[in-house]
Structure 1
């Protein structure tokens, strides 16, 4: 209960919607039911049942109407979990039948048949069906420089070890030391077992098997065989195994979860997909595209993308008077915090001139766009200095074409924003800003001059360009 109360307090302090906490308990309940295992009664459990925790949180929120509200930031959350390992990570070791493989540490070992095995963070453990003997594989605990012989001598020198002496050996070509032993228990009684210390890959591993003294003879042979099965791992298939990872998929049309599973095959089954997404197999999922506004400023275009998932990113240094609180991420456009090919479209509106390395930023935008995704780019050519000192470049049509093609974009449309007479109109208004007494003279002309823009067919004098390009 204390953990739940603290979680609720932190949500409120951070400005997040506390109602989402109840949904977490709903997910926990779905996982519990999906596992299909019997539940320990709540009075014997270390944690209350998820549905009871949800009911208590909902009751507390209902008693405090002012507590509702706050941000959810669903898109930021999805970006954070994209690519996370789902389930156990085989890079940290995995069993295939009786054999344990560790790709990162590059070793394998076969455990006795019928023993219950478990890969823990600090050890791999196997227990006999009668639970009267155990086998444990760990890294030796002493600091380097360590050796199998040194570790074995230290083990047999312990006061509780009553019998045995270490012998040096080689196991599958690896330096090793160890042997059988007997040891006294703190509460009385004795155990017997066998230990081996093995050097491999810059580490010393301790392989320890033991059991009750009167029963040990029944397990000794298979325990010794297990210890002597430790070997370097060189099978490419076992070394290259990769974990399952969460993938955030944006669907281009509405469909049921069953249809989704058929269109986007997954390594997990339909039931697991339903649990992860908190839906049922026949739930109809809405369509939605993910749009990146790269250089969003005050996120002024968010309202244009109500039909999509709009993600506003900016470094928030351009204008000290702007309100950057609507941004989803503070980031340099040269190092976007997103996975590759994760966006369906992107904007870069009057931003390119403020980037010291525009080529690098465009390549980074290309990286996070899926192949074929569009980019809307608007950049100035004839424009006054603005947002100083962060104003570095102006662009011709040829410069934009070069930058975009170098960044792996294919230009579909490159349109000038007016011609010479629109530039003249803007300059007249600029003059009025410098000398307000010119306003009666220049303002009427500034409004009429753009009507002559059709005379400028070449459009070499233009305020800038609007470009639509597609990621190759």
Structure 2
């Protein structure tokens, strides 16, 4: 198994999504070993975390809709938004990261996921809890751990583990950096094209808040009632 995930999804402090993606990387790596055999990456996109899984076969499934370009992505099979084109009890495991918030018909899709999974097979899910609107217009929901538990149990799954990534502090600093990148740095216009000035601006508006958030998170109480992502491991009944 190649354990290397690209720097964009296992980032350093200069990355604008440092806290959210570092948290997801650590959480997915923590639970990846629970998934074995033939795995479906549902909503796979570019399969950024594929290297973390040691499975017999890794199949990427996605939906070709508005709001997200699939150019240069590694999708093996497209589905129509309702029916996953595989027979019953086909997969030993399912992984789905940052996808459920984009599914308006999640309660239709969960039975489909259940259908194509073998009995006692496992599904690993991550969902954002605090994040700005993205992939517009296909951004429909933010799920708490309690909502995910309810939806999964209602649709034939047993919850095995619930986890969170991010703390109150890292979430605040992550969203500060997102604001800086989306709304502050563009104000500097052509100055961002000058290398020394671009470095200084990124230092001030990306690196410095990431570093400050990291230090404060190490020193202050780590509270997770305000957090970045929910991570759920469940089993088909």
The TM-score normalised by the length of structure 2 is 0.70
Within 2, Cα distance between the matches of 1:321 and 1:471? 30
Within 2, Cα distance between the matches of 1:453 and 1:404? 32
Offset of 1:306 from its aligned partner? Answer: 5.9
Secondary structure at 1:299 match in 2:
coil
The equivalent position to 1:356 in structure 2, one of 85, 98, 104, is 104
- Aligned position for 2:175: 427
Offset of 1:461 from its aligned partner? Answer: 0.6
- Aligned position for 1:450: 214
Within 2, Cα distance between the matches of 1:406 and 1:453? 36
The runs of 4+ residues in structure 1 deviating greater than 6 Å are none
Does residue 460 of structure 1 match 2:225? yes
Offset of 1:447 from its aligned partner? Answer: 1.9
The equivalent position to 2:69 in structure 1, one of 320, 332, 337, is 320
Alignment of 1:280-295 (within 5 A): 289-295=37-43
- Aligned position for 1:399: 147
Does residue 369 of structure 1 match 2:134? no
- Aligned position for 2:79: 331
Give unpaired runs (5+ residues) of structure 1. Answer: 1-287
Within 2, Cα distance between the matches of 1:446 and 1:348? 27
More helix by share: 2
Deviations 1:113-157 (A, max 9, x none): xxxxxxxxxxxxxxxxxxxxxxxxxxxxxxxxxxxxxxxxxxxxx
Within 2, Cα distance between the matches of 1:388 and 1:431? 17
- Aligned position for 1:102: none
- Aligned position for 1:389: 137
Does residue 410 of structure 1 match 2:158? yes
Offset of 1:307 from its aligned partner? Answer: 4.0
Contact 2:60–2:77 (Cα < 8 Å) also in 1? yes
Secondary structure at 1:399 match in 2:
helix
Offset of 1:408 from its aligned partner? Answer: 1.4
Residue 456 and residue 316 in structure 1: after superposition, are their counterparts in 2 closer, same or farther (change >3 A)?
farther
Secondary structure at 1:412 match in 2:
strand
The TM-score normalised by the length of structure 1 is 0.37
Offset of 1:452 from its aligned partner? Answer: 3.5
Secondary structure at 2:39 match in 1:
strand
Q: How many residues align?
A: 184
Within 2, Cα distance between the matches of 1:301 and 1:443? 24
> Which protein shows a greater Rg?
1
Offset of 1:300 from its aligned partner? Answer: 3.1
The equivalent position to 2:57 in structure 1, one of 289, 299, 309, is 309
Within 1, Cα distance between the matches of 2:49 and 2:214? 26
Deviations 1:349-371 (A, max 9, x none): 10000101112212211111111
Within 1, Cα distance between the matches of 2:158 and 2:85? 24
Offset of 1:383 from its aligned partner? Answer: 0.5
Deviations 1:324-383 (A, max 9, x none): 4x3221103531111111110001110000101112212211111111111010000101
